[in-house]
Chains A and B, each alone.
Chain A
């Protein structure tokens, strides 16, 4: 019974590659993403929409910065820290970058150990990722505090164009929110891995779908995306 109905979905044999593969995969009223589960495909589509959100933030920042007559504050000096009697430019931001990249590295390895069904290592690496993410948020809170005490507000700052504060708080604030939500989800997924939910296929309490180790990879997609956004923020907001 089941076999006869499932033949609707696709035919046996290797599928064409390249451009022909795109046309063949998308056409004939069939499932477009052949070897990707819906969970993963939907996470990708969510990330695509999130890309547009951050794209619009960076776009409005670009528009503000081009259109102002007042000189833009020099980020190299604004974000400098005084360590050992000398100002080191952007040092906190550089450390934050390395922390976030490291968390991406541990996340990638957690996904790997998940598929090898190494429960303990996966959970530990997930918690390590969450800890690095929390460190990042903590450093961002420090940076916000420093700038606010120096007089940066969304409507003005002591060094130049008033739009600087609005762009800074909006972009880094939204990114920090993403990191915080990611940390919460990492802890939830780590708990499930630790408890062995994905080994026995225990249903999630919200979706009631059977848990699989692919959930770790989907979580990883979100986390790497947060790192990816930071790459762009670092380049355009802090370095430009």
Chain B
């Protein structure tokens, strides 16, 4: 009976097996609870405030061109990294999960490249047919 259900590998059977039998924990790797000191969260919180202020100041001081765009991207990536790594605990997960989740969105950049070419082409066509703007 027990074999039949445990072979299904359902989470429910895993859970019940673990509570029934202490040796099961040595067989299955235990699910890790993410417990970290509160201070870490407060430090990250403060950094997110600092980085947000910085990116707001980019607009407030009216920076332009590549300086503006690169600063916006740097602050954005730093903030996103802090949220995913610390708040969402990705820094402590096993690499198998990290790569399964982080890698696919990075591949969206291929799509971005395609659409940059496509949009440039659309703009050129519009200018050729309608002139350089109203």
Contact = CB atoms under 8 A, between A and B. Distances in A.
Interface string B61-80: 01000001100110110011
Interface string A59-100: 100111011111100001000000000000110001001100
B123 A68 contact: yes
A63 B45 CA distance: 34
Contact of A25 (B26, B59, B96, B127): B96
Given A6-B27, A12-B26, A52 B7 contact: no
Q: At the interface, is chain A mostly helix, strand, loop or mixed? A: helix
Interface string A33-64: 11111110100110110011001000100111
A101 B52 contact: yes
A115 interface: yes
A8 B108 CA distance: 37
Interface stretch (A147-155, A173-181, A227-235): A227-235
Contact of A115 (B33, B79, B95, B105): B33
A175 to B, nearest CB: 15
A94 to B, nearest CB: 5
Nearest to A39: B11
A206 interface: no
Interface in A194-240: 209-210, 213-214, 217, 220-221, 224-225, 227-228, 231-232, 234-235, 238-240
B95 A21 contact: yes
Given A21-B95, A111-B34, A4 B3 contact: yes
A7 interface: yes
Given A2-B2, A214-B33, A224-B88, A32 B96 contact: yes
A108 interface: yes
Interface of A: 1-10, 12, 15, 17-19, 21-22, 25-26, 31-39, 41, 44-45, 47-48, 51-52, 55, 59, 62-64, 66-71, 76, 89-90, 94, 97-98, 101-102, 104-105, 107-109, 111-112, 115-116, 209-210, 213-214, 217, 220-221, 224-225, 227-228, 231-232, 234-235, 238-240
Interface of B: 1-3, 6-7, 9, 11-12, 14-15, 17, 20-21, 23-24, 26-36, 38, 41-42, 44-45, 48-49, 52, 55-56, 58-60, 62, 68-69, 72-73, 75-76, 79-80, 83-84, 86-89, 93-97, 99-101, 104-105, 108, 111-112, 115-116, 118-120, 122-123, 126-127, 130-134
20 contacts: A3-B27, A19-B95, A34-B29, A35-B94, A36-B32, A59-B111, A63-B119, A66-B122, A67-B120, A69-B132, A69-B133, A89-B59, A105-B48, A112-B36, A210-B15, A217-B89, A228-B80, A231-B83, A232-B76, A235-B72
